[in-house]
Amino acid sequence: MDKEKRQAIEWLKASNDDLESIKYLIEAEHLTNVVAFHAQQAIEKSFKALFEYKKIPFIKTHNLEKLYKKIEDIIEVEYEELECINELYIESRYPGDMGLLSYGKPTLNDAQEFYDFAKRVFNKVCTILDVSKEDIF
């Protein structure tokens, strides 16, 4: 296995850790903002796996939209969902605003949608890189 694929797998392992964390949090209504945070992190790390594998120069950012613009020819994702979870993460870096949407804290339904979206992105990246679950665990 080449260096780029090994590094990409490390990013996917980190992404999977965020997804696994969500499994423990997804039913807790008071932690929906934390679910959103881990979903954003899982997507970011999945995108960065593509950067590694495809040898795309790395940009140091947490902004999903900026990352996606560099790889949109490699992976297709629902841009509206990406934009929402990105805004939630980027705009909410201080405790008073942490994890808030325009109408307040994400609902349990929002949290489930963020989780499902993050899983879809993760699975698409695994498919693109031909990485199996066995490679990650």
Express each pLDDT in 17-47 by its tens digit. 999 999 999 999 988 888 998 999 999 999 9
Angle at 81 between CA 40 and CA 58, to 5 degrees: 50
In the CATH hierarchy, which top-level class contains the domain 3-136?
mainly alpha
pLDDT tens-digit profile of 98-115? 556 666 788 899 999 999
The count of other CB atoms within 10 Å of the CB of residue 44 is: 24
Domain boundaries, the chain: 3-136
φ/ψ of 63, rounded to 5, equals -75, 110
Place of tokens 């498919």: 127
